[in-house]
Amino acid sequence: MLSKKSKHDLLNNLSLQVLDCVNCELSQSRTCAVPGMGSSDSPVMFIGEAPGYHEDISGFPFVGSAGKLLTDLLNEISMSRDSVYITNIVKCRPPENRNPYLSEIKQCESYLSRQISMIDPLLIVPLGKFAMNYFIPGELITSVSGTIQEINDRHVYPLLHPAAALRKTEYKNRLKEDFLKIPSILDKLTSRQYLTDSNPLFCSELS
């Protein structure tokens, strides 16, 4: 297992690679690449679609009005942006905020998969349809948001995108309700991991 410092250094190194990346055409239209931010030791990773206008200018993920809602929701569960890790599927802004092309996602995906490996979070929270479909292709976000899915030995908890929540009160209420469950989900996963590490014989009792 990597030490906290090793994880931090590896993640910083990867962020520097993202900042210099020219692997796809998005590098030509971006202002700043947006690698991600937060704790390399976080138990939870929030993953959006791609940087938007404000993120492209600042170099930080989720900093517009949707980012403010995400920050507020984190504060409601006694977390901060620094205590979790926040990133996107694609690290550079697509022009006019169009959806990223499949080719761009494929060019970029090694960064995300390495971030997930390094941080090794207990819970992955894709925000919105696009990020959810990266983990669960073909599903509707309104069908699976707020449900825990086990995918490739990872626990994935898709939620509605904060930008969608800002457009519709019903979505905002649903996002908040699902978001407030994150601490209890983490508690459950932590105790499950503890039991798995300490006594595998008891694991079946949890399922």
Q: How far apart are CA 91 and CA 74, in angstroms?
A: 22
Of residues 26 and 189, the one with the C-beta less far from ligand SF4:
26
Number of H-type helices and E-type strands within the chain: 10, 6
Closest separation between CB of residue 41 and ligand SF4, Å? 24
Closest separation between CB of residue 115 and ligand SF4, Å? 12
Q: How far apart are CA 93 and CA 131, in angstroms?
A: 15
E-only strand ranges, 49-191: 85-88, 123-126, 149-151, 154-156
Interface mask (CB under 6 A) for ligand SF4, residues 75-114, using x and -? Answer: ---------------xxx-----------x--xx------
Nearest-CA neighbor of 60 among 85, 83, 24? 85
Nearest-CA neighbor of 98 among 32, 22, 26, 33? 26
For ligand SF4, the binding residue among 11, 15, 26, 88 (CB under 6 A) is 26
36 neighbors 88 (Cβ within 8 angstroms): yes
For ligand SF4, the binding residue among 7, 15, 33, 179 (CB under 6 A) is 33
Closest separation between CB of residue 7 and ligand SF4, Å? 20
Closest separation between CB of residue 89 and ligand SF4, Å? 9
Closest separation between CB of residue 109 and ligand SF4, Å? 8
42, amino acid identity: S
Stretch that binds ligand SF4, among 16-24, 66-74, 76-84, 157-165 (CB under 6 A): 16-24
Nearest-CA neighbor of 122 among 160, 82, 143, 150? 150
For ligand SF4, the binding residue among 10, 14, 27, 31 (CB under 6 A) is 27
Can you give the binding site for ligand SF4, defined by CB under 6 A? 18, 21-24, 26-27, 33, 90-92, 104, 107-108
